[in-house]
Each structure stands twice: as C-alpha cells, then as structure tokens.
Amino acid sequence: MDKKIFIVFVLLGLISLTADMVYEGARSASGAYLEHLEAPPIASAIVGVGEFTGYALRLVSGVLASYLRSSAAFWSIIALGYAMNVLTLPFLSFVSFWWTAVVIYLMERIGKGLRAPVRDVILAEVTEGIGKGKGFGLHEVMDQMGALAGPLLFAYILTRYGYSRAFLSLLIPGIATMAFILSAWTLYPKIKSVELPSRGISFRGMGRRFWFYISATVLQSLGFVHWAVASYFLKYWGVLKDAEIVALYAIAMGVDALAAFPTGYLYDVIGFRSLYIAPISTLAAALLLLARGTLPAYAMAILWGITMGISETVMRASVADMVGRDKLAVAYGVFGLLYGISWSAGGFIVTILLQTSTLGAVGYTILTQLASFGILVLLNRRNLT
C-alpha cells in the first residue's frame, strides 16, 4: 500500500469516526428520547423503518453510481450522504414533538443509505493490499472509536445539561466529518472501479453463492433487535434510566470496536465460516433482553456489539469477495436493500411480540437464527457458484 493510498484509508477511517460520534451519539438515546417525548411504543419501530429506507436507498445509490460511471459522482454522493448524516441530527436539540424527532432520525438514515455502498467500493479498493477482512476490520475499529466516544460524550452532556445541549454538541464532529471528506476527495479523485469498462447495470451474474449469502443475512437480521426497540423497552420496563441506556450503547459500540479487527482477521483466515458467529450472538442478545434485568441488559449490549462488529466487517468484506469489481456497487446496494427490509420488518415483529407474548418472541428469534445458521452451513459445504 503506497503512502497516498494509506492516507486515503486513514481519512476514510476518520470520516467514519467523526460521523459515528454524531449519529451513534444521537441514536444511543433514540428510544429513550422518544419515550421522553411521550411517544407510543410503535414510534421506536418506525425509527427502525429508517434502517429500511436507508438500506433501500443503498440500492438506488449503487445503481446510480454504476450508471453514471463518474468518480466525481461517487464522491458527490458520499458528500451529500454524510451531510445528511451529520448535519441533521443536531436539530433534535429544538424539537418538541415525538413525530418531528422520528422524521429527523429517518432523514439521517436516508443520508447513510446514499453514501454507504459508494464508500464501501472505495474502501474495498484501498484495502486490497492488506486483505479485505483486515482492512474492513481496521476501518471498523476507527468507526467504532467514534461510536464509543459519541455516546459517552452525549451521556456526559445529557447528565449535566439535558437533551437540548447534548444534541447540539454533535455539530462539532459533524463539521470535522465534512472536512475529512473534502481532503480524501482531493487525494483520491479517480476511483478504479469507475474507470473499468461498463457492461451495463444488471442483477445477473453475481452467482448463487451471493444469493445464498443474502438469504442467510436476511434471516439473521429478522431476529436482530434494533437498538431503538431495545432501548425503548429497557426504559419502558424500568430496567435502566436514560443516561444508563446511553452508556450501555457506548459499551456495545466499544465491544464492536474490539471485535472488528479480530473478526476481520478471522475472515481472512477461515473465510465465510466466520459468519457463524452472527446468528449465535443475535439469538443470545435477544434472549438476554427478554430477561428484563440489569445484568442481562449489560450482557445483551456486549453481544449486540459483537453482532454489529460482524455485520460491519465480515458481512461487507464478503460481498467484495463474491462479485467482480464492475458489479460491486450494485451488489452492495442489493445487500443493503434486502438487509434493511428484513431488519425493519423484524423490528415491527419484535415490537409487537414484546408487547403481547414473550414466549412468541423467544420462538421467533430461535427460528430465524437457526434458519440463518443452517444456510451458512450449506454455503460453506456446497460448491456454489
């Protein structure tokens, strides 16, 4: 990896670090803040729809970037997406109604959806020299340093000054994010994947292995409890107070950071078998949430962080190893769309079950994760192309 590529890799990490300070700081209190605004339980699931909206737009972004075949377009999409990420959430400082907060949270997810697949194409390029698993893992470590610092800073300001100043403080790392984007754009204006001859936009040719993988991740995400839902019910059940819930999210993000590089390294060594961890940790986290206790809540946060670490490293790196460069942006878009649909749908299902039947929630989570694990086993045992 030459010096300029290394600097771009570091800048991509810094972009994620500062952006995560903003949106993970704000998201850490999402459920508790909605409850503070006297929102109904379903509001937390609506915030989860933001995941669907964001992930759905990853497909739009990926297809658009592939169609335009322009490095300037790639970077413009990234800049616009991050601006929506980091410059909208501080406005939560001024809201008085829960539905306004929901709209802002949804807008932030739209921004992430726009920039995520295009950024991952660039990240896949600049990590080729060190191994995609390790490269995505190192990037996730920097990402999660921000995801840890953001909620901790937010919790401190929330405790001393309240929600308004806590949200407004997020504007500082947001401005830093935009400065890092402009620096990376200046250093790496030409993206190799864009320079490849275009074969047109097609969803064919990505292989059965890719679609088997997608079905496994969809089933895993159906049972993966969104943090907005988990944090809402932790307060609703009286398990933890607002600032404790924010601190709990910081713990989850810290675990995510610690798990990112080891899981990425494990992926480079044993390949797709490293994905087995995801349905196991997803199931365990859900069961611990349902225990409705303080210690189980902390254990849940640890396993939730491990699951996120895998989804942000191994799941992303594996897509780049399954499809060719010319289809990479579209493949990331397809992955994001289907993962987002299933995660959002799962959020509604889990929210309803948590209000009606604990046994049903347990059975639902076990079923989805066993199915995901089974498909991953088939993926590793059969020669799928």
CB 298 within 8 A of CB 251: yes
Question: What is the identity of the amino acid at 21?
Answer: M
Q: What is the DSSP string of 166-199?
A: HHHTTHHHHHHHHHHHHHHHHH----HHHHSPP-
The pLDDT value given to residue 193: 67
The pLDDT value given to residue 1: 59
DSSP code, position 91: G
| pTM (global) more than 0.85 | no
Residue 196 resides in a domain: no
d(CA 222, CA 225): 8
Query: What are 99-140's pLDDT values in tens digits?
Result: 899 888 888 888 887 887 788 888 888 887 777 777 888 887
Residue 67 resides in a domain: yes
Query: What are 60-75's pLDDT values in tens digits?
Result: 777 777 677 788 888 9
Tokens of 270: 């044993």
Residue 197 resides in a domain: no
Domain enclosing residue 332, as ranges: 3-190+202-381
Long-range contacts of 245-248 (CB under 8 A, 24+ apart): 245/28, 245/29, 245/31, 245/32, 246/28, 246/29, 246/32, 246/151, 246/154, 246/155, 246/158, 247/151, 247/152, 247/155, 248/297, 248/298, 248/301
- Whole-angstrom distance between the N-terminal and C-terminal Cα of the chain? 30
Instruction: Produce one character per residue of 68-99: b if its CB has 16 or more CB atoms within 10 Å, e if not.
Output: ebebebbbbbbbebbbbbbbbbbbbbebeebe
pLDDT means per 10 residues, the chain with 385 residues, are 84 93 86 84 75 71 73 88 91 89 88 82 80 79 85 89 92 95 92 63 69 92 89 89 84 84 84 89 94 94 91 79 73 80 87 90 95 90 58
d(CA 105, CA 50): 7
Residue 87 resides in a domain: yes
Residue 195 resides in a domain: no
Count up the domains in the chain and report the number: 1
Question: What is the identity of the amino acid at 221?
Answer: S
CATH of the domain at 101: 1.20.1250.20
